[in-house]
């Protein structure tokens, strides 16, 4: 089985030499298998492992038992283990979400904190093929599109799932073969949660009465759907450049350009814009996309209210999407914490900066082509970076030979309205602009074959200090 996992890791380029892996370990069968396999592969590949255990405060003495077991398992194998204690039930009530969602939130927060604190390059999670099949069925039953049906990605940024190529039975057999004990979570045994009913009733019935390889076949289908999804997202991103225009109030979808797109691309553009404004894709479904699309056939002035306080308004050019609660302050200046997280409370945003060494397997295709995540050559940067609004002396690099253009000229050439320019965020080194956020990055700081270190700058909605979505 280890060979199978190693092949899966290599297929998706999950781990490289000198990676520092933050592994989420609950003490259950899946995570113990993950940690044990990582340790077995450690010498072969050459990476470090740090374990993170989150006590959710839900199961009393049983949770303490899991915590002690995980700490002992790690100590016996010389693995650093960092433990978090959270009151998930209280967090769920405060944020008006399910206990399951709150648990996922605190785990991801803990993993991210440890990654930043210890310079982690990867976060490894223990999802396997059965988890993926459950996710697919759950999304299918609730109503979804290609994204929901494509399941859990093996690699999502620095999040990796090395066990997605194997199923639960293989994990159990492996643990038994190596005489590894683990903790049983009694909450997984009952059927009060929807996912548990799929796990205990629907999937076994499919395997017993339809096809014994049902889980494997579902995962193969999800892999194909992921490829289709990646292609569509690239197409949607490309079409957004001519269909969507950044305005001071929000995002403007230009009707004439939108009407020339294929219906699949049309819906994808709307979905992408809504997610950009909301900062999440959760609870944004096809009915909301359809409500926006219908406005193209309505008279100017017609509106639709959508989740996350987003309002869609028909005007003469198309549809303006506005997040009504967004702060409208113009002045902004903060020095970026590198590596780390910088919060812009007035804008309800957080900026996450991460640095890592470029490895020998790096390819240009790995560079994200998304409007709010960019990679830069960190070796070129000599001074501190700031996030701010424009200043008169600002210039933008137009080539790697040192050619520049005044930022004001760039705004004029791009026909960005004067009233919008004061709000646009810039990532700057002095008066050299690395990134006109939402528009373009400087050629001067682009990654090249000579790059040794990469800095990723990601801008996201700050849910901690803003609205609880």
* Average model confidence (pLDDT) across the chain: 89
Average pLDDT over residues 336-353: 89
Q: Is 29 annotated as a binding residue?
A: yes
User: Torsion angle, CA of 330/336/341/345, rounded to 10 degrees?
Assistant: -20
Q: Is 27 annotated as a binding residue?
A: yes
**Distance of alpha carbon 399 from alpha carbon 395, whole angstroms:** 12
Q: Is 430 annotated as a binding residue?
A: no
pLDDT at residue 196, as a whole number: 86
133 in Cβ contact with 214 (< 8 Å): yes
Average pLDDT over residues 197-222: 94
Average pLDDT over residues 275-298: 88
pLDDT at residue 231 is higher than 80 = yes
Q: Is 379 annotated as a binding residue?
A: no
**Distance of alpha carbon 359 from alpha carbon 361, whole angstroms:** 6
- Select from 3.40.50.261, 3.40.50.150, 3.30.450.30, 3.30.465.60 the CATH code of 247-323: 3.30.465.60
Average pLDDT over residues 290-294: 94
Pairing outcome for strands 122-124 and 155-156: unpaired
183 in Cβ contact with 22 (< 8 Å): no
Which residues make up the CATH 3.30.465.60 domain(s) of the chain? Answer: 247-323
User: Torsion angle, CA of 81/82/87/89, rounded to 10 degrees?
Assistant: -50
Q: Is 31 annotated as a binding residue?
A: yes
pLDDT at residue 209 is higher than 70 = yes
CATH 3.40.50.2300 for the 2-222 domain, yes or no: no
pLDDT at residue 466, as a whole number: 42
**Distance of alpha carbon 54 from alpha carbon 451, whole angstroms:** 37
What confidence tier does 464 reach under pLDDT thresholds 50, 70, 90? low
The H or E element that residue 267 is part of is helix 263-278
447 in Cβ contact with 454 (< 8 Å): yes
> What are the pLDDT digits (tens) for 392-441?
778 998 877 778 899 989 998 888 877 678 789 999 998 899 999 988 89
pLDDT at residue 445 is higher than 60 = yes
Q: Is 28 annotated as a binding residue?
A: yes
pLDDT at residue 370 is higher than 90 = no
Q: Is residue 349 left, alpha or beta, with left meaning phi > 0 and alpha meaning psi from -120 to 50?
A: beta
Beta-carbon contacts of 410 under 8 Å, excluding residues fewer than 6 positions away, are: 396, 436, 440
Place of tokens 């089985």: 1
Beta-carbon contacts of 44 under 8 Å, excluding residues fewer than 6 positions away, are: 6
Which residues make up the CATH 3.40.50.620 domain(s) of the chain? Answer: 2-222
What confidence tier does 191 reach under pLDDT thresholds 50, 70, 90? low
């Amino acid at each position: 089985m280890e060979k199978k996992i190693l092949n899966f890791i290599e297929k998706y380029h999950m781990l490289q030499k000198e990676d520092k892996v933050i592994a989420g370990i609950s003490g259950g069968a899946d995570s113990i298998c993950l940690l044990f396999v990582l340790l077995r592969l450690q010498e072969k590949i050459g990476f470090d492992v740090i374990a993170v255990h989150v006590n959710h405060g839900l199961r009393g003495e049983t949770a303490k038992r899991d915590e002690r077991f995980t700490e002992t398992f790690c100590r016996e194998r010389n693995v650093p283990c960092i433990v978090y204690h959270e009151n998930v039930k209280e967090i769920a009530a405060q944020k008006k979400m399910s206990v399951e969602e709150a648990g996922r939130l605190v785990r991801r927060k803990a993993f991210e904190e440890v990654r930043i604190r210890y310079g982690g390059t990867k976060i490894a999670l223990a999802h396997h093929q059965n988890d993926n099949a459950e996710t697919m069925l759950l999304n299918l039953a609730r109503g979804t599109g290609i994204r929901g049906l494509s399941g859990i990605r093996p690699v999502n940024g620095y999040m990796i799932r090395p066990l997605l190529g194997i199923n639960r039975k293989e994990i159990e057999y492996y643990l038994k073969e190596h005489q590894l004990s683990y903790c049983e979570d009694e909450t997984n045994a009952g059927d009060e949660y929807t996912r548990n009913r799929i796990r205990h009733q629907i999937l076994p019935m499919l395997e017993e009465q339809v096809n014994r390889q049902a889980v494997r076949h579902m995962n193969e289908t999800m892999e194909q759907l992921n490829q289709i999804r990646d292609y569509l997202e690239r197409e949607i991103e490309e079409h957004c450049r001519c269909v969507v225009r950044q305005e001071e109030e929000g995002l403007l979808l230009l009707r004439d350009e939108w009407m020339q797109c294929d219906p699949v691309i049309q819906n994808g553009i709307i979905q992408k814009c809504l997610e950009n404004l909301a900062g999440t894709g959760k609870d944004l479904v096809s009915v909301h996309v359809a409500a926006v699309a219908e406005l193209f056939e309505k008279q100017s002035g017609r509106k639709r209210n959508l989740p996350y306080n987003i309002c869609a308004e028909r005007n003469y050019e198309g549809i303006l999407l506005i997040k009504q609660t967004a702060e409208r302050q113009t002045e902004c200046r903060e020095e970026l914490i590198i590596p780390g997280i910088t919060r812009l409370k007035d804008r309800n945003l957080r900026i996450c900066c991460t640095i890592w060494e470029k490895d020998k397997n790096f390819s240009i295709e790995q560079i994200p082509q998304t409007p709010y995540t960019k990679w830069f050559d960190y070796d070129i940067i000599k001074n501190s970076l700031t996030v701010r609004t424009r200043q008169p002396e600002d210039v933008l690099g137009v080539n790697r030979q040192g050619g520049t253009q005044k930022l004001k000229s760039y705004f004029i050439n791009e026909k960005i309205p004067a009233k919008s320019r004061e709000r646009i965020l810039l990532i700057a080194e002095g008066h050299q602009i690395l990134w006109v956020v939402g528009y373009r990055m400087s050629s001067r700081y682009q990654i090249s074959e000579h790059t040794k270190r990469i800095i990723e700058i990601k801008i996201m909605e700050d849910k901690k200090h803003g609205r609880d979505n």
